[in-house]
Structure 1
Amino acid sequence: MANYFNTLNLRQQLAQLGKCRFMARDEFADEAGYLKGKKVVIVGCGAQGLNQGLNMRDSGLDVAYALRKEAIDEKRPSWRKATENGFKVGHLRRSDPAGGPGG
């Protein structure tokens, strides 16, 4: 599988490694705590959008989806995935999509 690091030559890789550091275990202790109390709005509900939302919700975050008006009006698969999994859905153009469709 290709990734950014593997596209670099050896000299570039060594330079990048010189800028990196291993994170200590305690840096992960708070997990998603820095997002607690904030609303997370995911644009789109394709395969990745749905799974990311499910993971964030499982971590205790308040997650909603912003979709195109047509996707909501026509009840497209993205709308069905989000609503069938209990997420709030709003129009992409709304400033607060979590308020629900059309509102």
Structure 2
Amino acid sequence: MELRRILRPGGIAWITLHTEGTLKDMTPDWPLWSPVMKHPKAASLFDTEARTFEGERLVLRWLSGRSYSSNVFYKEAYVRSHWGRIMEVADFRRRHPSFQDVVILRKT
């Protein structure tokens, strides 16, 4: 909603994100590989062999006394159906430019 608020009509938002495709494409040389595959709940949250997950998104959280971080993987259908209610999903690009996918939203 904040992106919609600040964009003028016709404005474009270029957003990088991880998708189910990112999870499937990852190899051990990717920066994201180690934290995702070593997550304490990885085996219970997603199928590490097939690298798939149930539901619309996969959230891997790390909590410590000093910090909080997370990695979120979205299914493209989720982005199109939920984010598409707020703005037009003009394009969806896989691994563009390298490790992340891109969703291009346009305010109508």
TM-score, structure 1 as length reference: 0.29
Structure with greater proportional helix content: 1
Structure with greater proportional strand content: 2
Which structure exhibits the higher relative contact order, with contacts defined as CA atoms closer than 8 Å and separated by 6 or more residues? 2
Q: Looking at CA atoms only, which structure, 1 or 2, has the larger radius of gyration?
A: 1
TM-score, structure 2 as length reference: 0.28
